[in-house]
Amino acid sequence: MNNTAKVYSAELCGIFAKQIEVETDLSTGLYSFTIVGLAEKAVSEAKERVNSALKNSGLNPPNRVNKKITVNLAPADIKKVGTQFDLPIAISYLLASGQLKQFNCNDKLFLGELSLDGSLRKIKGAIAAARLAKKLDKKYLFIPKSNAKEAALIKGIKVVPLENLEQLVLYLSGQKKLEVQPVTEFKPTTPPFFRSFEEIKGQEPAKRALAIAASGNHNVLMIGPPGTGKTMMAQALASILPPLSLEEAIEVNLIYSAAGKLPEGSFISYRPFRSPHHSSSLVSLVGGGTNPVPGEISLAHRGILFLDELPEFHRDVLESLRQPLESGHINISRAKQVVTFPAKFCLVAAMNPCPCGYFGDPEIECTCTAYQVLRYRKKISGPLLDRIDIQIEVPRIELQKLRKPAEQADRDLRNRVIKARQIQIQRLKPLGIYSNSEMSSKQIQQFINLDSSGEEFLEKVVEKSSLSPRGYFRVLKIARTIADFELSEKVSAEHLKEAYQYRVREENKL
């Protein structure tokens, strides 16, 4: 009898998976069950779950055999932190102990957490494992049934959903057939937190600015007194975003799967909307921890990150946004590894003009001193503010406007946003990017396509403006988006003027 066996599994490193070899060796000696290969406590405890699961599945468990059992998880320099190794450890032991006949392990990947009765629990990173299986030319991926739908988003791999260990053993021994999970047909859906711009009366300039932000995935800062609809507009912005493409959906689901935040037996089919509280810690926002997991900025990837009461966030938390806002990803460095999480999100921030909220309000007098107003606004640093493309005022609404019915134009906003984004996708497809906000300075100069009036206006701006180089290129990005929103091939002076006013607002300079 061959006393050794090897099967294959996977370990999450950030949001991507790496192949792990699960080797089991049985040798003569008093009973012991040892798991080696840089395994953390949850993995080391697998021996107890495997013992009970095998016993309750009608199989001979390791603790009934007087053998020295060693399980090695290779390569040993990768830290193993998940519970997904329960299933491959059990299968590897059954092969080594002769309870399962030898089969071709090279084309199969096994992942799953075992319950004590032998049933399989949901795991993290199933979609990452499916991508790994496809990359390594594996034919089969055996995972818990609750993970099958997300994994089947990846075409070219046979995903086999499992309810329990006994089911898999009968299949591998040729006594039972298992159905392969059908390829998941992706259909984008409406966010469950759907709010419509039709609910917002008045605020036409702010709504137009938000529609332009949605068209080009630009960052927005809304400044105004309490109760003027800033939060409602941020939530309504999610309703006019273009639907997710399959490629974007896979990116989003990779992140949510790695974080263990996917719905049971399902996947994310809409653009995320994340709204962390201002008391959130640095790690919860940008990601990290002992075993790095995605933070709010990555969970908002391809969607919206809404920061209400922006100055109330801790200074170090706000400053940590600077790098991902510029690069579209966040690097988490640890002693033995560097993990990169994607973070291409649309930042939507809201703040009051002063601590009491009524600075500049025509109806309610501000009670703050000049020093308090200055100190409050200085909580937002210049470098962070420079990365926010569109800065708008959201003033108090006249009560008469609240009684008027919604304008028809509001209902057409999403269609206009979708058309503008389709224009950008078509233009930027060779570059592998999806929106104007992702363009580099070189790409902006390539695609800006100014007419004569635009060229003339831009020369004046360059001569007289105090814009930073970053601000200058962001004005061009916004102008290109406005032209797309207006279905204009060329960028005119009018487009540049509107883009410029969103960037330069003397009363809002912090």
* Residue 179: per-residue pLDDT: 94
Residues 6+ apart with CB under 8 A from 105: 6, 7, 8
CA separation, residue 345 to residues 32, 62, 266, 364, 473 (Å)? 50, 49, 23, 36, 19
Q: What's the DSSP call for residue 288?
A: B
Please provide residue 361's backbone torsions phi and psi, each rounded to the nearest 5 degrees: -75, 130
Asked if residue 165 lies in contact with residue 53, where contact means CB atoms within 8 angstroms, the answer is yes
For residue 84, give the 3-state DSSP assignment: coil
In the chain, the domains with their CATH numbers are: 4-172 (3.30.230.10), 197-408 (3.40.50.300), 439-510 (1.10.8)
Measured between alpha carbons, how far is 313 from 228 in angstroms, rounded to an integer?
21
Whole-model pTM over 0.85: yes
Measured between alpha carbons, how far is 314 from 279 in angstroms, rounded to an integer?
7
Asked if residue 55 lies in contact with residue 26, where contact means CB atoms within 8 angstroms, the answer is no
Asked if residue 137 lies in contact with residue 148, where contact means CB atoms within 8 angstroms, the answer is no
Show the tokens assigned to 23.
Answer: 């080797």
Show the tokens assigned to 487.
Answer: 């279905």
Q: What's the DSSP call for residue 438?
A: G
Radius of gyration of the chain (CA): 28
* Residue 464: per-residue pLDDT: 77
Task: From 437, 413, 415, select the one nearest 424 (Cα to Cα).
Answer: 437
* Residue 425: per-residue pLDDT: 94
Measured between alpha carbons, how far is 413 from 411 in angstroms, rounded to an integer?
6
* Residue 404: per-residue pLDDT: 67
* Residue 289: per-residue pLDDT: 84
For every one of its 510 residues, what pLDDT tens digit does the chain have, with 9 covering 90 and above? 568 999 999 999 989 999 999 999 999 889 999 999 999 998 999 999 999 999 999 999 999 888 999 999 999 989 999 899 999 999 999 999 999 999 999 999 999 999 999 999 999 999 999 999 999 999 999 999 999 999 999 999 999 999 999 999 999 999 999 999 999 999 998 887 667 887 787 788 899 999 999 999 999 999 999 988 899 999 999 989 999 999 999 999 999 999 999 988 889 999 999 999 999 999 999 998 888 899 999 999 999 999 999 999 999 999 999 999 999 999 998 777 889 999 999 999 999 999 999 998 888 899 999 999 999 999 999 899 999 999 999 988 876 666 666 555 556 888 999 999 999 999 999 998 999 999 999 999 999 999 999 999 888 877 777 778 888 899 999 999 999 999 999 999 999 999 999 976 544 444
Q: Can you say whether residue 287 is alpha, beta or left, with left for phi > 0 and alpha for psi between -120 and 50 degrees? A: left
* Residue 509: per-residue pLDDT: 41
Show the tokens assigned to 159.
Answer: 């995903």
Residues 6+ apart with CB under 8 A from 310: 221, 278, 318, 349, 350, 351, 379, 380
Strand stretches in 64-214, DSSP E: 67-74, 108-110, 113-114, 120-121, 140-144, 158-162
Angle between helices 86-96 and 46-56 (to 10 degrees): 60
Residues 6+ apart with CB under 8 A from 351: 221, 222, 223, 309, 310, 311, 380
Asked if residue 477 lies in contact with residue 503, where contact means CB atoms within 8 angstroms, the answer is no
Element (H, E) at 316: helix 315-319
Identify any residues that bridge with 293 across adjacent strands, giving them in sequence order. Answer: 288
Do you know the residue count of the chain? 510
